[in-house]
Amino acid sequence: MGKIDVHNLWRGLIMGGVETIPGVSSGTIAVVLGIYERLIAAINGLSTREWKQSLAFLVPLVAGIFIAVFSSAQVLSWLLDYYPNQLSFFFLGLIIGIVPFLLKKIEFKRTFSGIHYFFLLLSLLLIALFGIMQDPVQTSILGSMSASDYIAIFFLGWIASSAMILPGLSGSFILLVFGYYETIIDALKLVHFPVLLTLIAGIGIGVLITSKIVHFFLHRFPVGTYAVVTGMVLGSVFVIYQGMPADIGGLIASLFVLVIGFCVAFLLGKVEHKQ
């Protein structure tokens, strides 16, 4: 195996920590951290002679994701219950802070033509439309699971994994749209192995397939792909936004964490995108 990238452990902790929040894509966070292309290449590298180097990149990242997903479910559930606005504004700050780095990376002033702006706008509108579809009122069915529910969770894991790789769409959001979000959160809290293993199996297969598609477009059509990615990242603003707090204290706190999120993304962008 190649040299382990220990920095990927904390990157994985961040990616896994946000994956349980509907609307926040781990793909978006990978873009924020500057590892999106390397992540896609590493997943594809598992089926090549460079599989050892890919494992060296992915093992600490996946370990961090799993640790964060299982350890943060209760904390994030509490934050979503009591501080939904502040949490959403923090991630809004992250997104706003990283967009300049995305555009600079692809040198959009020189490379973008009319078709690229069209793809950017189209992907932005598509993600925003998904945001309108959210239904936050759900209940868990963990205690009354049927065979059809396990089949549904497997295929939703497959679909959700695609969303996890594509910036702007989160796996949790897909589960939310189809009514299984609360069930999966309960399974994480209670470590319900049958449900979790079914979900992981679907995610594993989906990640391998979707990453190959994204890898192809990144290499054949890099400018167009980044136009779509940028649109998805911008569109996730409409998915994450929970509205303005009613009280002045909540508004001040939300604006404060918005600035914090922007600063975090800006600093991460300066450090990570130089590597």
Predicted confidence band of residue 196 (pLDDT cuts 50, 70, 90): very high
Segment 235-252 mean pLDDT: 83
In a domain? residue 44 = no
In a domain? residue 124 = yes
In a domain? residue 67 = no
The pTM of this model reads 0.68
**Cβ-based neighbours of 4, under 8 Å, separated by 6 or more:** 56, 59, 60
How confident is the model over 40-85, as pLDDT tens digits?
889 888 888 888 889 999 999 999 988 888 777 677 767 777 888 8
In a domain? residue 171 = yes
Question: Tell me, what DSSP letter sits at residue 50?
Answer: T
In a domain? residue 22 = no
In a domain? residue 258 = yes
- Count of domains observed in the chain: 1
In a domain? residue 250 = yes
131 or 250, higher pLDDT: 250
d(CA 263, CA 193): 39
In a domain? residue 140 = yes
Of the candidates 229, 11, 230, 223, the one whose C-alpha atom is nearest the C-alpha of residue 99 is 230
- Domain holding 235, by residue range, is 80-273
How confident is the model over 225-236, as pLDDT tens digits?
889 888 887 887
d(CA 146, CA 239): 31
